[in-house]
Each structure stands twice: as C-alpha cells, then as structure tokens.
C-alpha cells in the first residue's frame, strides 16, 4: 500500500477539487445529520462539506496516516477524521450521506462493496462517488509499460493498480439494489503549467505506488524515462500542457423504505 504525500497530492488542488464539488452539488440531501467522506485525503474537501451541510456531523476516513495527520490539523466540533480502510468500513449507525472522491478505484473489487455501502445508509440516504476513468490514457499506459521494463519489473510486479468502470456499470449495480441513480461521465481538459506538469500530477496519485516500490537509483532512471515519454505524449503548447482527464460520477439515493 502506498504511503501518500499530502503536499504533493494538493498540487493542482483547484483541478483536483472541481469534480468533488460537481459531485456533491448533485446530492439532494437537505439537512443530513451524519455524513461520511470515505478516502478523505488531507481534509480540505471534507471540511467543505460543513459549508454545504452546517448542521451535520461529518467524519473523514482514510487509510493513510500521513493524510489523516494533515487533515487533523484543522478539526472542529463537527468535523473529525479517523484512520480506516474503505474495504472494511461499516458505520456504527446508519448515515445520511456517504461521499467518496477519487478513492474507490484503489479498492480491489470495489463494486462488491456497493451493497454494504447502501445498507449502511439511512432510508432515503445518499451515496455519491467519483472515480477516474482515464486508465487507458497515455499517462497510465506509459507508466505500466515502463514498469514492465526488465530494469524495474521485479520491484513493481506486486504493486497495486487502480481500476474503475463506466457510469452505466455502476448505475446497473445500484439500481438493482433499489436505488434511484444519477450517473454520468465528464472529460476535463486541464491546462497545466510548470516543468513536466503531467508527471507532477500523476506522481502524487496514480504513479506513486510504482515510484515508491523502486530503489533510489531505479527511481531516478524510471522518472527520467517516464518524464521524457510524457513530454512526447503531452507536448507543451503556447498556453500550457493539455491533460484530458475523464471521470465517472455516481449519485444514488436509497429507497425511503424497504
């Protein structure tokens, strides 16, 4: 399991946070009492939920100690953070809304968790999540192709690899559970600035487990080759570097009664 670095993750925070706010905007809960953010990361988006629902008790949960330590710097009476694994999470009592932003893709077999997540909702409660849908893009294809290079293959063979599905698949999963589902996909065209910006973006998320699995010497060689490949795949333009990024959104409301 990768050890996440909050500072690096928060680079390009505006671009990373936009899907979260567009997801939460489609949640119809008016005054939930209990809200949970699964895979909360360093916490600023979890705290933003208190602006949306000022009367709610809000709990952010993440498996990364570094992320929770960063989040816990700004706790409040209504917003708290806990170490926890999404794969094992079960609420002590039904919650009114569960939000998960770019986290479920790291949970192997996460579709199998959906019945349990819905079961943990109060009647009429909401489940909202978004996951990346860009795993076939050059950023990821080049990453995994390079990881199979004989120089790196032994070190990266067992590294976790994220995955996700299309919106229709998640809609089917949740509709058969009796939920009313709103699912859609959006491709953002991020214009990034700075040197090797696509590497900077992915090194804080999708590439981090592979980079951490390498020795210092291997990592230096890997990063050099990967940056060169990314520069060719995402050339710098006059206005910056264009990174198309597809995301999958799902908002489901549990039935008000069984």
Per-residue confidence band for 7, with pLDDT thresholds at 50, 70 and 90: low
> Which tens digits make up the pLDDT trace of 114-155?
999 999 999 999 999 999 999 999 999 999 999 999 999 999
The 10 Å CB-count burial string (b at 16+, else e) for 63-93 is bbebbbebbeeeeeebbebeebebeebebee
The conformational region for residue 109 under phi > 0 = left, psi -120 to 50 = alpha, else beta, is: left
Q: What is the percent of the chain with per-residue pLDDT over 70, rounded to a whole number? A: 94
- Phi, psi for residue 96 in degrees, rounded to 5: -90, -25
pLDDT in tens, 203-223: 888 888 999 999 999 999 999
pLDDT over 90 percentage in the chain: 82
Residue-range domain boundaries for the chain: 6-253
Q: At residue 2, does pLDDT exceed 60?
A: no
Residue 8, pLDDT score: 56
Across residues 82-106, what is the average pLDDT?
A: 96
> How many angstroms separate the CA atoms of 32 and 59, rounded?
13
In whole angstroms, what is the distance from residue 142 CA to residue 231 CA? 11
List 36's β-bridge partners, or say none: 59, 98
Predicted confidence band at 11 (pLDDT cuts at 50, 70, 90)? low
152: Cα within 13 Å, side-chain hemisphere: 26
Q: Which CATH number fits domain 6-253: 3.40.50.720, 3.90.230.10, 3.40.50.150, 3.40.630.10?
A: 3.40.50.150
This model's pTM is above 0.85: yes
Average pLDDT, the chain: 92
Give 76 or 99, the one with higher predicted confidence: 99
Confidence band for 79, pLDDT divided at 50, 70 and 90: very high
pLDDT-derived band at 167, boundaries 50, 70, 90: very high
Distance CA 4, CA 6 (A): 6
> Residue 231 in 3-state DSSP?
helix
Q: How many CB atoms lie within 10 A of CB 238?
A: 4
pLDDT(229) > 90:
yes
Token output for 212: 């951490």
Residue 1 has pLDDT above 90, yes or no: no
Q: Closest Cα to residue 198, out of 161, 229, 222?
A: 229
Name which residue leads in pLDDT, 172 or 42: 172
């Amino acid at each position: 399991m990768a050890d996440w670095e909050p500072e690096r993750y928060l680079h390009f925070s505006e671009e990373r946070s936009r899907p979260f706010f567009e997801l939460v905007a489609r949640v119809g809960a008016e005054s939930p009492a209990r809200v949970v953010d699964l895979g909360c990361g360093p916490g600023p988006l979890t705290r933003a939920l208190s602006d949306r629902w000022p009367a709610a008790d809000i709990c952010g949960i993440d498996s990364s100690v570094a992320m929770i330590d960063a989040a816990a710097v700004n706790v409040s009476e209504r917003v708290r953070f806990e170490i926890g694994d999404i794969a094992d999470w079960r609420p002590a009592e039904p919650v009114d809304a569960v939000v998960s932003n770019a986290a479920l893709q790291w949970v192997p077999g996460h579709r199998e968790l959906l019945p349990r997540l819905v079961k943990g909702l109060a009647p009429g409660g909401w489940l909202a999540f978004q996951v990346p849908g860009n795993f076939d893009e050059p950023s990821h294809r080049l990453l995994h192709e390079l990881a199979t290079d004989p120089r790196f293959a032994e070190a990266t063979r067992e590294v976790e690899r994220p995955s996700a599905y299309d919106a229709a698949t998640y809609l089917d999963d949740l509709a058969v559970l009796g939920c009313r589902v709103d699912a859609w996909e959006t491709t953002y065209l991020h214009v990034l600035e700075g040197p090797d910006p696509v590497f900077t973006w992915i090194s804080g998320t999708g590439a981090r487990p592979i980079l951490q699995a390498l020795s210092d010497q291997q990592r230096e060689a890997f990063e050099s080759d990967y940056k060169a490949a990314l520069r060719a795949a995402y050339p710098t333009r006059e206005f910056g570097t264009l990174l198309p990024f597809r995301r999958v959104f799902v908002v489901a409301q549990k039935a008000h009664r069984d």
